[in-house]
Structures are given as C-alpha cells and as structure tokens.
Structure 1
Amino acid sequence: MTPPPGPFDPSHADEPELLDLLDNATRSESPLMLLDIASSMVASFDDSDLDDTDADGADPTEIPPIRELALQMLEATPKETEPLVRIWAQMLDDELFGRRIAKMLPTPSTKRLPEWIRRAEEIKPFRAAALISPVKIEETILLEISTAGRSVTLAVGVDRSGSPYLEDAYLADGPLSNIVEFSRTELELPVDEVTLSLADAGARLSEAFEMSTHMFPPIETESWPGTRPLLEWMLRKLPEGGTGYEIRTWEPEEIEELVADFRASPFAESLTEEEIGHAHLLFEFQCNYGNNDPLRWSGTFVERLMCDLYPRKVMSPADDLLLMPTALAALVRYANDRSGVDPVFTENALNAIDDNREEYTAQVRGDRPESTSALFARLLTGVDDDTLPLSEPVSDLGDEFGGGSFFGDQASMLAEIFIGSGAEAVGGIEALQALTDEPLPGEGLDTAGVADDVVDRLNSFVPEIRRIADEVFGEPELATSALRFLAEIGRGDPTVFRRRLADRTLLAALFWIVGKTNNLFSAQWSSEGDVTIGKLQRHLGVSSSPKPTAEKMLHAAGHELSDVEVILGDPRYLISRRRRRIIANRDTYWDDLPEDWEY
C-alpha cells in the first residue's frame, strides 16, 4: 500500500510539491495513489467546511472550503489538477458542484488522461469479503473497488468488542483476492474468509462506521480519517437491504447451561466452588462486552476484562475477586476446546492472563503494586505502613526499627535481597560496585557478526524502534537498549527473523523484553512507569501476547525467561533511570550485608 499523504494543508494547494505528487499519481498504473490523495485532502477539511459557502466578503487569508478550492485549482493550474478535480466531482455528494465542474473541464475524449480518470463516474464497489478472527474479536472487511483501469481494495478493520466499530481503513493495490491470498500464506494467526454480498458489506460497514463516530477520543491512525471520504463515497454506491451484525441476546438460562457444562467438564475439576462461582459472570461479560460468543476467547478481551471490566464492574470482596484469574484460565481452556478454535488463540489468552495478573491484583486491592522495599518491609515486620523509612540503611533507623526489634534483626536479610537482585541485574558484584548512572548514548544498529540474510530486515526496524521508545515509553535511551539486544539476537540465532512473523509482532516482543528488564511496565514490582503491555500491543496493532515470541528471542540470545521476569544481567541494556534505582539500593543496603555473605 502507498502510505497516505497524511493531513493535508490546503494553504499549499498550488505549491510544486503537490503538483508533482498529482503528476506521479496520474501517471501511475494504479488508481490507488490518486484516490488516496483525493480522499486525504477532503478529510483535511472540517465537516463544516464541506458545505457550499459564499466567498464574498470572506477573509482572503482563510482557507476556502474544498469546493471553492477545486474551482481555484482549475483556474490556476487546470492541466495539473484536472485529474484530482474529476475524482472530487464524483467523491463529493454534491450534484450542483458536479455540474459546475463539468462545465469547466475539457471533454474527456482526450487521451492525455488515463481512461479510468476520464471515466471516473464508473468507479464503484465490485465485490466484498470479510477476514474474521476465529475468536470473533476483530475482522477486516474487504471492499474491492472497480475502475475502468485496475482495481483497488479498501480494507476496513472492525473491532467486534461489544458494538462493532471501525478502528481503521486503508487502501491496498489490486483486487480483493490478493489480500485474501496474503492472509492465507503470510499472516501469523489464522483467519476465516467469508464472502459478503455488496448489500451485507454495506450494512456491516455502515454500522461500524456509525459507531466509530461516537468514539472518544476520535479514532486516528496513519490512514484514518484520511480514507473516510472514500468510504462514504463507496457506501452511497452500495445497495441497501443487507444484513449487518447480528448481536444475539443470551438468556440467563442459556448461560447457566454453559456454567453447568463447564462445572461437569475435566477443565473445572480442580476448581473450588468459590472459583466456579465466577463462571456465570465471565460468560456474561464475553456475551455483552466481548465478541458475543462465550465459547471463543482471545488475549485481547482477556486483557480488557482483567485490567478494566471485572475490577471496575464487579462489586465483591477482594479475596473473592482474586479467585477470578484461576477460574478464567480453566474457562478459557474449556470454551476454546469446545468451540474448536486453533490452540494458538488459547495460548494467547492464557499468556494474557499471566501478563495481566499483577495489574488485576493491584486494581482489586485498590492500589498500584507496592514497591519491592515496601513489600519486604511488610512481610518482615507485619506492618502494612507506607511510611517505613527505608530510604536509609536499616541499621541506622534507631531503636524504633532496630535495636533488637524484628525488623532490625532482619536488616541483613533485606540487604542480601536488594544487593543480590542488583548484582543479578547487572551481571555480578563487581559490575554492581562499578555501576554508574550515565545515560545510554544514542547509537545505530551494530550488525557486526549478524547473519547477512537478516541485516536488511533488522535495519528496517531502526526508525520504528526509536519512535516506540520515545512515543510509548517516553525513554529515548530505551531505543539503544532495544537496538543492542536486537543485534545480540541476530548474532546468536537469527532464525526468528527468517520466519514469517510480522514486523510488529517482533517489535512488540523486543520491547516486552527491554521494557521488563528496565521495570517500565506498571504491573511490575517497584515499577516507576505507567505503560501497560496492552498499551504497547495496541500501539503496534498486535492482538496476541508478545510473551511467546519474546521467549524465542531470549533463547536465541542465550537467555531464559524466569517465570515472568526478564533478567539480562548486563548494564548495557539498562537505561539510566533503572541503574539509578539499583545504585540507590546498593548504597542504602551495602553496610547491612553480613560479613560472610557471598553472591
């Protein structure tokens, strides 16, 4: 797909850059580029600007509405802008404007323009299909657009959580069959292909588009709302009378039947009655807030359930709520096994339960996860008090906490914990003693020793790595950490980069690793960040948990995942903020180490 031009500044409508762009689009064999430009420019105007207005008396410095701009462009540069205006005459739902433009344009008999532009009135939807996730959480509606030349396909992403809504729309070159074939051979996760009548496609697209207009904040992607005028144009040309999304209403008795079947299944045999008691609500939440099918579970909905819906909507004692993840894991296995979906979706959902368990626990308890120091203070003293002065050596706290008290007697234990964990994070006691907090320098990707056949792919990641580090984590240093570890994987075992894994999947896994090793995810103990794994996934458009791919990457670089912790044991991967925390613990607890302690 040709990248959309992005937000268009109409004040530059007659500048050479735009005219060159239009010339290239007109000469292109594919209609994609010109349709993309035409739609993006219309989308750059506010809805209020799309109505005909009288320009008399208007401020000459104001940007004219799109129709007035079209007339001005034809007067100033008719040859260069005619192709664009011909598309606008069809795209804009304005018969008067179309007639006015027709009088200004030369007859379309000239061969100077490609035939598809001269016959722009014939542009229309031709056929449609949908690529649907087997767990029904998302789908992509494909609308092939025919012209008098080559066809293009408008791909519309729809999120089916609760009421389906449009989450993106972009143009792809070629017929619908090209994307279908790509989905069969290149996508990481399987999808179901469903042929749609044009009427049914129109009904689904209209519903999803309408719902998206009520989303706040408004949906913005690289291509949306740039493709909105094109979608609206095609919707007007689609036949009416189709069937949209069918949202089933599940009766309480039906859900109780599912609960009874789950209770009798081998998946629930190890659960207590209190844990099984969550099953009815879990099925109900999937029916009402998820994909409307209680027997198909995805990692995406599991994350939303644990990090938002369940702790916010269920009024129950904390001890009872904390039983839910165990019940959810068993229920996911039962439901996906009964519906027969690919096991990869079950694995993703179970990984999502593991990834979000700490965040869920924190929300149920009404606070963020406590710091490591506060945790150990509470465990050792039995005092649940955030005011314990752990910012100074335990042995210097005075009689209240030392001098024979339980806490004072255990000073050496705390020191062993913090000094030991710090040494583990940086690769040993000597490395801990020599540790500094100088910021990681900005670096490029060092491909020395990396297999030649993956170098180009790794280099293509560099701009996106810098952007993610800055935009998602607000930590430019993290780009250096990610680039260093990326190169380490390439030197160790580059097989993961030769597989047909999407770039966004690899990037999500890479930042899952360096984010965890730097304690940047909010669910980690002692984290100082507010980034969730779900936020990282949403930013990259990844629906499955990054953990399985991250484990492969860690193994390729010679590391193993310990439970859910990532310990690389090398300060080269630690940003300055993380190292400052380790240094502070080192300086605080060093004097409390027992004389015979060995790492």
Structure 2
Amino acid sequence: MADGRRRRDAKQARRDAKRRQSRAQPPDTAEEVSLIGEVGQALDGGHPLKILNLVSTLILGTTAQPLQPSEEQPPTTGELVAALIDLQGAETTALLAVLGDMLIEDNGLRAQCRRAADERQDSLPDWLADLNRTTVHRAVRMTFGLGEGHELLVGARFTDGQEMTCVVYIDHSESPRVGDAFFVPDSIDAVLAVAQANNTDPDVSFAEVDVSNARAGLRQALDNPLSLLAVRDSDTWPACRALVQWLAQLMPAGGGNGYPVPMDSAKGDDA
C-alpha cells in the first residue's frame, strides 16, 4: 500500500477518535464560559479529563516562549498559582490540587500548590483527592507498515473507577518525537475497539506493550523538540503536553531505553 494512503488512514483514525472525544464532552454554550465556571461544571459530576485538559492548557499558556520578546511573554505559572491562592473557592482549590500533581518540572511550585490545597477545607471528588494514585494499566502500539511512525495508546484509571485513554502519535522521520496527542474520556478497551473496527489497512498492526517499556519510549519522544509540522493541524497538541508528561510519570519505570519499533510488524499481531 502506498505511503500516502497509510498517512491518510492514520489521520482518519485520529480524527475518528477525536470525534469520539468530542461527543463524550458536554457541548459548548454560545457564550464564553469562565475558567471558574468550567471547573465548577467538571466538579459537578464531570469526567476528570475536563479539568486535567484545562490545567494542561493553562501550564502551556503560562510557559515562556523562546522566540517571543520579553515584553510579549505570557504571565508566568508562578503568577497564575499566586492568583489562584488569593482566590478562595472549591474551583480554585481543585485547580491547585491538579497543579500540585501536574507541575512535574517545578518541584517548588508544585509543593506550594499542594500546601495551599491541603490548607483549605473544600471537599474534592475522590478521583481528585487521590489524583497521585491514578494508575496506568495498559499500553498498546499501533504500527504502520513502513515504520514512519506509530501510535501509542495508554490506558489510565482513576481511584473512583473512571478511565481515560491517551493517544500519542510518535514520529520516527528523524529522532522519535511526539507529533500529536489527545485524550479520550473512555477506557482503552473501548478506544482500541473503535480503532480496530475502523482499520482497513492490512499493514497496520496492534500489539500489547509492557507499560514500563511504553513509559521509556514515551519519555524519549517527549524529550525531543516538538514536531512543528504535525502541530500545525492539531487542536490538542501541544496543549495536552503537560498532561502527557504527567501520565508518563505515573507509568512504572524499568523499561530501559524504550521499545523497538519494527519496520514490518508480524501479522500475528494484527487484530
């Protein structure tokens, strides 16, 4: 099968999964919803991914941009945290609690968020109160025939039983790097079933991956610069970068330098 066909099929699979993600999220209202309002809606029985995606976007939006002059730089993450600490309420407590886990690149600021959240008396959902006990239980690699890239599906489960799936496209055109990523508020079993049912390419295969090996491969891809070519047509990456990094931290270590990506996958792995 031609190389261009494989890329089109891979993009279609990602679009199908993203549409599944959109259907699972509450519909947008005509009016712009405030940050506090969005968090409040998520706390009122919404899926954890609503807040997690929001916080990941906030982290990206308050991260210094290397190519921008100093006067055009966004407010810092530290300034965001200070503003949240000054504003009392269950919504800001929830944001601080998530930041207290997700700010993996700034231990000092992460500890500050945790202290601020712990000092408050606001009641948080079980999944959020025990966010650091979220587990990653399964990883599956979707490989394309020529090995120009692959998708890694990672399944996570919160302490209240809710699940989410991270779908990461890892580009191998140069050194492995993340070309796109998004999250689906559903189990990896359900997401994988959709991907397998929609796949029409006999050169695409699905293979189980040891979670620790998947962690090593994912961290290796995250350490490389963003693939700007893929980012141009993505509405979820790099907005979810902090969330992907956090998920990688939850995965068990011990996978060495990553897993091998075969140039032509064994047909026995096909689903």
Q: Normalising by the residue count of structure 2, what TM-score does the alignment of the two structures yield?
A: 0.72
Find the counterpart in structure 2 of residue 115 from structure 1. Answer: 126
Q: Which amino acid counterpart does residue 41 of structure 1 have in structure 2?
A: L
Does residue 32 of structure 1 match 2:46?
no
Find the counterpart in structure 1 of residue 195 from structure 2. Answer: 183
Does residue 153 of structure 1 match 2:170?
no
Find the counterpart in structure 2 of residue 503 from structure 1. Answer: none
Q: Displacement, 1:16?
A: 6.1
Partner secondary structure for residue 239 of structure 2: coil
Q: How do 1:511-530 residues align onto structure 2 when only pairs under 5 Å count?
A: none
Q: Displacement, 1:162?
A: 5.0
Q: Distance in 2 between matches of 1:218 and 1:137?
A: 13
Partner secondary structure for residue 47 of structure 2: coil
1:502-522 Cα offsets, whole Å, 9 max, x none, are xxxxxxxxxxxxxxxxxxxxx
In 2, are the aligned partners of 1:2 and 1:33 still within 8 Å (CA)?
no
Q: Distance in 2 between matches of 1:39 and 1:165?
A: 19
2:108 maps to which of 96, 104, 112: 96
Q: Distance in 2 between matches of 1:106 and 1:202?
A: 30
Find the counterpart in structure 1 of residue 36 from structure 2. Answer: 19
In 2, are the aligned partners of 1:162 and 1:292 still within 8 Å (CA)?
no
1:222 maps to which of 235, 243, 253: 235
Does residue 173 of structure 1 match 2:185?
yes
Partner secondary structure for residue 105 of structure 1: helix
In 2, are the aligned partners of 1:71 and 1:101 still within 8 Å (CA)?
no
Does residue 81 of structure 1 match 2:92?
yes
Deviates more, 1:140-149 or 1:122-131: 122-131
Q: Distance in 1 between matches of 2:166 and 2:103?
A: 18
Q: Displacement, 1:201?
A: 0.3
1:360-409 Cα offsets, whole Å, 9 max, x none, are xxxxxxxxxxxxxxxxxxxxxxxxxxxxxxxxxxxxxxxxxxxxxxxxxx
Residues 198 and 134 (structure 1), Cα distance of their counterparts in 2 relative to 1, 3 Å cut: same
Q: Which has the higher helix share?
A: 1
In 1, are the aligned partners of 2:214 and 2:255 still within 8 Å (CA)?
no
Does residue 233 of structure 1 match 2:228?
no
Q: Distance in 2 between matches of 1:215 and 1:136?
A: 17
Find the counterpart in structure 2 of residue 196 from structure 1. Answer: 209
Q: Which amino acid counterpart does residue 152 of structure 2 have in structure 1?
A: I
Q: Which has the higher strand share?
A: 2
Q: Distance in 1 between matches of 2:175 and 2:110?
A: 36
Q: Distance in 1 between matches of 2:182 and 2:196?
A: 20
Q: Distance in 1 between matches of 2:170 and 2:111?
A: 36
Partner secondary structure for residue 141 of structure 2: strand
Q: Displacement, 1:39?
A: 0.7
Q: Distance in 1 between matches of 2:238 and 2:76?
A: 18
Residues 100 and 29 (structure 1), Cα distance of their counterparts in 2 relative to 1, 3 Å cut: same
Q: Distance in 1 between matches of 2:108 and 2:176?
A: 35
1:475-507 Cα offsets, whole Å, 9 max, x none, are xxxxxxxxxxxxxxxxxxxxxxxxxxxxxxxxx
Percent identity (aligned): 20
Q: Distance in 1 between matches of 2:74 and 2:176?
A: 36
In 1, are the aligned partners of 2:100 and 2:112 still within 8 Å (CA)?
no
- Provide structure 1 residue ranges, at least 5 long, that are not aligned to the other structure: 6-14, 50-58, 248-290, 297-338, 342-599
In 1, are the aligned partners of 2:146 and 2:263 still within 8 Å (CA)?
no
Residues 199 and 242 (structure 1), Cα distance of their counterparts in 2 relative to 1, 3 Å cut: farther
In 2, are the aligned partners of 1:169 and 1:227 still within 8 Å (CA)?
yes
Q: Which has the higher contact order (CA 8 A, sep 6+)?
A: 2
Q: Distance in 2 between matches of 1:138 and 1:62?
A: 34
In 1, are the aligned partners of 2:53 and 2:240 still within 8 Å (CA)?
yes
Q: Distance in 2 between matches of 1:246 and 1:120?
A: 31
Residues 77 and 198 (structure 1), Cα distance of their counterparts in 2 relative to 1, 3 Å cut: same
